[in-house]
Structure 1
Amino acid sequence: MLPKPLVVVGSVNADLVLPIERLPKPGETLAAASIETVPGGKGANQAAAAARAGFPTFFVGQFGRDDPNASLLRNALLGCGVDLTHAAEVDGPCGTALILLQAGGENSIIIVGGANQAAWRLSDGVKALIAGAGAVLLQREIPEPVNVEVAKLAAAAGVPVILDAGGVEGPIDPTILPCLALLSPNETELARLTGLPTDTEAQVQAAAEQLMSAGVKSVLVKLGADGSLLLPGPGQPPLRQAAIRAEQVVDTTGAGDCFTATYAVAVLEGKAPAEALRFASAAASICVQRKGAMPSLPARAEVDTLLAKQ
C-alpha cells in the first residue's frame, strides 16, 4: 500500500543568481561573473527535496501564465518527481528571487512575489488532497491567510502540519500555532518571532519553549554549520544534531529547505526523531556542496550512501 503523500503548499520562484565576491557598499558598483536562472522558491525546493528523497509528493502552488520561466519551473519540479496535478496558473509573472551569491557560499536574497502573492483559491480537489495527506508542509512566501486556511483544514482532518518559518519577516498569525505539529525556524527567524536572543544554545532552547507555550507541539531550530536542535514536545528532552561536515561549502541556497523537507520525509517513513535529524543533516550536507537551490538537492541513494559512511 502506498504511503499517504506529503503535500507542500507554497511558493515557486525563478532564481536569478549573481555570483559576487562580496556585497556592494552603498553607492558602489560591483561586477558579477555571470547571471543564471535556476528553479527555486521555498515551497518548490521543499517539494523537490522530498520527491528526490523518494517520497510521493504533491506541490500546490501558482505559476504565472505570462512568464516564459513557467515551463522551466514546471519541468524542473516534474523532473524531480513532484506531482503538479493540483498546481494552478494565474495571470502575471512567476515569483522571482534575486540571489547575490558571495564567495564562500553565503547569500543575500531579494524576492518579488509575483504569482505566489496573487489571489489564491483552494479548489475542492486541493482540500480533499490536504485532508488525505500524510503531512502538509508550509513556508512563508505565500499570503499568510492561505497558510492559515490550509493549516486549519489539515488539523481538522488530523493531518500533521509543518511550518518552515522562512519567508516574510512579519509575525506569524497566532491562530495557526495550535495547528502546527512542528515549527522550524533558523536561529535568526526564531529571534524575530519571539523577540528573544538566540546567541547561545540555552537561549535558543528558551525561545523555542516560548513558541511551544503558544501552542506549537514541537520546534526544530536550524543552526546552519552548528547543526540543529529539536524540542520534540512538552516534558521531552531536547535532541541535538551536529552538522554533517561538508568538504566544501559552495552555495547555502536551499539548504534549509532541503533539511526541513527531508526531516518531514524521514518522520513520515517512521524514523525516530534522532534518526530523522541525521537523515536531514546528511541531505543538507550534500546540498551545500553544489550550486543552485533545486539543482543541488540530493537523490535518496546519495543520502543513504553518506549516512553509511558516518
Structure 2
Amino acid sequence: MKAVSFSPGNHCNLKLQKYPIKQPTLANPIHFDNHQNQKPSNKKHHFPSFSIKASKTPQTPLTKYPNTPPLVVVGSANADIYVEIDRLPEEGETISAKTGQTLAGGKGANQAACGAKLSYPTYFVGQVGEDAHGKLITEALKNGGVNLDCVRNLSDVPTGHAVVMLQPDGQNSIIIVGGANMSCWPEKLSDEDLEVVRKAGVVLLQREIPDLVNIQVAKLYKLGGMAMAMGLGFVDLSDIVHQGPGSSTLCGNVEYPFPD
C-alpha cells in the first residue's frame, strides 16, 4: 500500500510542555511536513500534509497510555482536493492547474490523526460515503491507529470533500461540500456511540457536522464531567449563540473553545 497523507487544518499547533515524553518507535513512522510559510519559488510545490507510511497489513494501534480514558473526536472527515494554480479563475473562465492531489482531511479526521500520532488511544465518530473518498479516509485513519468502530458508511450520500485552490504566494481559496458530514445523522446517536463518548477522557467537536449532533455530545459531557473542546471555525463564541435554535445550549456546554 502506498503512503497515505492527511491534509492538516490551517492552525494545527501541537504544544507539549512541562513533561517531555519520549515517543516510542512506531511500526509505521509518521512524518510531519509543513510548507505553509515557505517563500514562493520555482521549485515543485509539495502540499502541506503529514504522511503515514502504511504497511500492506493494518497495524494494531500503538498506544503509550493503554489504560487512559480515550480521546474521542466527533466530527467531520473530508477528501481535500488540492489544485496548484497561478491565479484564481475569473468569472466564466477555465484555467489549468499545474498539479493536483487528493488527501484525507477534515477537521475531525485531522484531530483524530493527531491524537493517534501522539500514541494516545483515539476514537473517531463520524460519517463517510461508500465511495473512493470514504475508503481513502478510513484507510488513512485506520493505518494511523485510530479506532473506527463508530464510523458510519452511507450508501446514498457522497463523502464530504473540499476543493483547495492554492496559489504561489501560499494563499488558498476553499470550496466545501458537506456530503456525509452534514447528511443522514440520526436524531439520536446510537447507544454504542454514546457509550464511547461517556468513557472518554477528552472530547473534541467541530462545526462541520450538524449542531444537533454536537448538542447531544455536549449534554452528555455536562453529565459526565469530561473535558470537552470545540473548534469554532474562526467565529467568536458569542456570535454562535445567535445563529439558531440550540446554539446557546451548545455554547453553554463548551469548556474549551478554540479557533480552527
TM-score bracket relative to the smaller structure: 0.5 to 0.7
Match of 1:68 among 132, 142, 148: 132
Match of 2:177 among 112, 136, 148: 112
Match of 2:256 among 158, 176, 182: 182
Please report how far the alpha carbon of residue 24 of structure 1 lies from its aligned counterpart in structure 2 after TM superposition. 2.7
Code of the aligned partner of 2:125:
V
Deviation sequence 1:164-200 (CA, Å, 0-9, x none): 0128998351111221110012xxxxxxxxxxxxxxx
Please report how far the alpha carbon of residue 58 of structure 1 lies from its aligned counterpart in structure 2 after TM superposition. 0.4
The question of 1:82 aligning with 2:146 is answered: yes
Please report how far the alpha carbon of residue 36 of structure 1 lies from its aligned counterpart in structure 2 after TM superposition. 1.4
Partner of 2:207: 140
Please report how far the alpha carbon of residue 120 of structure 1 lies from its aligned counterpart in structure 2 after TM superposition. 1.4
| In structure 1, distance between residues paired with 2:145 and 2:85 | 32
Unaligned segments of structure 1, at least 5 residues: 186-255, 257-310
Please report how far the alpha carbon of residue 134 of structure 1 lies from its aligned counterpart in structure 2 after TM superposition. 0.6
* Residue 157 to residue 143, structure 1, CA distance change in 2 (3 Å): same
Partner of 2:103: 38
Match of 1:8 among 64, 73, 96: 73
Code of the aligned partner of 2:231:
D
Is contact 1:39-1:73 (8 Å) kept?
Answer: yes
Listed as ranges, the matches of 1:121-132 within 5 Å are 121=186, 122-132=189-199
Is contact 1:9-1:60 (8 Å) kept?
Answer: yes
| In structure 1, distance between residues paired with 2:82 and 2:203 | 29
| In structure 2, distance between residues paired with 1:61 and 1:104 | 34
| In structure 1, distance between residues paired with 2:94 and 2:128 | 33
Code of the aligned partner of 2:252:
P
* Residue 138 to residue 167, structure 1, CA distance change in 2 (3 Å): farther
Task: Give SS of 2:87's match.
Answer: coil
Measured on the aligned residues, the alpha-carbon RMSD in Å equals 2.0
Match of 2:233 among 148, 160, 166: 166
Is contact 1:141-1:168 (8 Å) kept?
Answer: no
Is contact 1:90-1:118 (8 Å) kept?
Answer: no
Code of the aligned partner of 2:132:
P
| In structure 2, distance between residues paired with 1:183 and 1:30 | 39
Please report how far the alpha carbon of residue 101 of structure 1 lies from its aligned counterpart in structure 2 after TM superposition. 1.3
Tell me which protein shows more strand as a share of its residues: 2
Code of the aligned partner of 2:175:
I
Unaligned segments of structure 2, at least 5 residues: 1-65, 242-246
Is contact 2:240-2:251 (8 Å) kept?
Answer: no
Please report how far the alpha carbon of residue 150 of structure 1 lies from its aligned counterpart in structure 2 after TM superposition. 1.1
More contact order relative to length (CA 8 Å, sep ≥ 6): 2
Listed as ranges, the matches of 1:1-310 within 5 Å are 2-65=67-130, 67-91=131-155, 92-121=157-186, 122-166=189-233, 171-172=240-241, 173-185=247-259, 256=260
Is contact 1:140-1:167 (8 Å) kept?
Answer: no
| In structure 2, distance between residues paired with 1:106 and 1:42 | 19
Task: Give SS of 1:61's match.
Answer: strand
Tell me which protein shows more helix as a share of its residues: 1
Instruction: Compute the TM-score of the two structures, normalised by the length of structure 1.
Output: 0.56
Number of aligned residues: 185
Is contact 1:139-1:167 (8 Å) kept?
Answer: no
Please report how far the alpha carbon of residue 6 of structure 1 lies from its aligned counterpart in structure 2 after TM superposition. 0.6
| In structure 2, distance between residues paired with 1:118 and 1:79 | 26
